[in-house]
Chains A and B, each alone.
Chain A
Amino acid sequence: MFATRRIPRLIALPVAVALAACGGGDSGATGDTGAAGGDAGAAPMAVANAGTINGTVNFTGMAPANQPIDMGAEPTCAAQHPAGPTTQTVIANNGKLANVFVYLKEGLTGTHPAPSTNVEVDQHGCVYVPHVTGVMAGQGIVFKNSDGLAHNVNAQPQNNRPFNISQPTSMTSAPQRFSTPEVMIPIQCDVHGWMQAYVGVVANPYFATSGEDGNFTIGNVPPGTYTLESWHEHYGVKTAQVTVDPDGTATVTFDYDASVANAVVPLGAPFDPHTDVAAERRVAQPQPATR
């Protein structure tokens, strides 16, 4: 009877829908995780008689004390900071400034394909390690969770697509990619409000971050004259000219002064619950949407 003839076609419709949907479901980031990145994130390809840039970031004046962090809510993390956790805004030892991001801003020609290796940012003791890191546009950056407790990585760039991924336990995220250069992109964890880091996205592989001793090295630089820019989250941006001779080593220094603070990418100012709580009238009586 015609009832039975009708069936197969009618089944076909929803099933087709299902297949279409599930087929499309495989979007988003792709495969290769792990891989070490680190300071000079990208590994540039060999360059004819390339030179090297050695640099130092000097710091004069009295560095302000970093704010202590209240990690009481995460004992496992607090245990990792015997000295007591503090923010990493300014790390300056004997006249050298750490966590300064330096990159080749101008003077470079040619295109620079992003390497397939991923830069890694670790989350250890509820702190991002490293605090400041660089990555090439289009290069993968993976976030590692070594704490075994939940973190989320919330990146809100200006010129790139924002992402907000979470990591419930020890694991390594799928590589995230920033398509356009942007210095700097603040990264933060919403579970642990104090967890903040910066990622500099650069169009070329020539960038580095100053270490505890204030030194940095950018290797494998093609000969030429360049504009270097340095960035610090509290003391802002400086530039310097540098000429790299064939097979030579150029040195450059950046000088920061404790008295001049102009942050370039300030993180959002903390929310002040007092602002209108003072309006006791509204405190006394909640205002329902219907009145």
Chain B
Amino acid sequence: MNEFWRLPVNVSSYGGDIDGMFMLIAWVITIVFFAVEILLVWFLFRYRARPGRKAAYMHGNSRMEVLWTGATALIVLFIGVISRGLWLDIKDPLRFPEPGLQLIVSAKQFEWNTTYPGADGQLGTADDFIRRNQMHVPVNVPVRITLVSEDVIHSFYLPELRLKQDAVPGMQIPAWFEATQTGEFTVGCAELCGLQHYRMKGTLTVLSADQFNAWNAQQVAAAGAAPGTTPALAAPVMNNEAAGSPVVAAASHAH
């Protein structure tokens, strides 16, 4: 069934739940689909016009009306109930897990600029550094991103991580994901944002904790070397303001 629906590979901690929900709904609607269409086609064949036949004269049947109304209502309410919890787990900021890394993703025509906390692990300080169209995150660490937009509405889309969230100018919209595999994945824009909307794409590189720390150290050094910003020592930036927990710890308590 997965290859029928061509779902992209899932490397997200909550992607499995989404796919499961999708498959469940897919099966339900497939069954309903076949039931209805087969019934329809059979009726059409069985009751086609033939000389001498006369249609039955009836105006309906209340019991059947109640039956199928109730049945449909039950199915959709069931779907609604089981969906709601998952929805809030993913989108409600109050339910976000403790982030191991906080990033700012700023969208502009037609780039995804990711701001990293830099040496001190604090966003909004001088040693932050920005990468264009390239995100690097550690594996198995909840990453909390704050989406902002410089110009128009964009939509931050990570197919393999089952994450999509609009970036709206004038708003900071939080989102989170946790990659479960290392590798290179797609960053795309899902909301028409201008001429080159189709080119607003980047790469998400998921690294192991060590690789990420190494990469981060190198970036911090580069940023420090660049004129205009204060030189900074290479240090793991896994800390978030609340609990200064190093990446390994973050990874462990995430599991």
Which residues of A are at the interface with B, using a C-beta cutoff of 8 A?
64-65, 67-68, 70, 72-73, 150, 152, 164, 166, 190-191, 193, 271, 273-274, 276-279, 282-287
Contacts and interface: CB of A to CB of B under 8 A. Distances in A.
Interface string B132-148: 11100000000000101
A286 B174 contact: yes
A274 B123 contact: yes
B113 A150 contact: no
B169 to A, nearest CB: 10
B47 to A, nearest CB: 35
27 contacts: A70-B131, A72-B131, A72-B132, A72-B134, A73-B132, A73-B202, A73-B203, A150-B196, A150-B199, A152-B196, A164-B195, A166-B196, A191-B110, A193-B111, A271-B106, A273-B148, A274-B115, A274-B123, A274-B124, A277-B123, A277-B148, A277-B172, A279-B172, A283-B146, A283-B172, A286-B93, A287-B171
Contacts of A67: 226
Contacts of B173: 286
**A-B pairs with lowest CB-CB distance, top 10:** A73-B133, A273-B106, A274-B124, A271-B150, A190-B109, A166-B195, A150-B199, A273-B104, A286-B173, A278-B124
B227 interface: yes
A167 to B, nearest CB: 10
A142 to B, nearest CB: 18
B134 A73 contact: yes
B202 A191 contact: no
Interface of B: 93, 104, 106, 108-111, 113, 115, 123-124, 128, 131-134, 146, 148, 150, 171-174, 194-196, 198-200, 202-203, 226-227
B104 A277 contact: yes
A67 B93 CA distance: 38
Contact of A286 (B134, B172, B203): B172
Contacts of B131: 70, 72
Contacts of B134: 70, 72-73
B126 to A, nearest CB: 10
Given A274-B124, A277-B123, 19 more contacts: A68-B226, A70-B134, A152-B195, A166-B196, A190-B110, A190-B111, A193-B108, A193-B132, A271-B106, A271-B108, A271-B150, A274-B104, A274-B123, A277-B148, A278-B124, A283-B146, A284-B174, A286-B171, A286-B172
Contacts of B172: 276-277, 279, 282-283, 286
Contacts of A191: 110-111, 196, 199-200
B69 to A, nearest CB: 32
A215 B232 CA distance: 42
A176 to B, nearest CB: 15
A282 B93 CA distance: 11
B111 A277 contact: no
A277 B124 contact: yes
